[in-house]
A = this chain, B = another copy of it.
Amino acid sequence: MIKARVTVTLKNGVLDPQGKAIEGALSSLGFQDVGHVRQGKVFDIELEGTDRAAAEANLKDMCDRLLANTVIENYTIALD
């Protein structure tokens, strides 16, 4: 079995209201040295089999078709 972590983040220039809200909340809590905050998603996925190249190709396909909106999001794939 192969374990993979897919991280999906907003592309630069795409507005991130959730990140802005977190910035404001951290500032309210007294964290004064916080600059920009951006929020993304992470998926921990288990795959059957041991073929790492096939797994990576499969994961790329999953990202393009379901996990990420590639118009506004980037993704990275890391295999364990």
Q: Which residues of A contact B (CB under 8 A)?
A: 1, 7, 9, 19, 22, 25-26, 29, 31, 33-49, 58, 61-62, 65-67
Contact = CB atoms under 8 A, between A and B. Distances in A.
Contacts of A43: 19, 22, 37-40
Contacts of A46: 34-37
Nearest to A1: B35
27 contacts: A19-B43, A22-B43, A22-B67, A25-B66, A26-B62, A29-B62, A29-B66, A33-B48, A33-B49, A33-B58, A34-B47, A35-B46, A36-B44, A36-B45, A36-B46, A37-B43, A37-B46, A38-B43, A38-B44, A39-B41, A39-B44, A40-B42, A40-B43, A40-B44, A41-B41, A41-B42, A42-B42
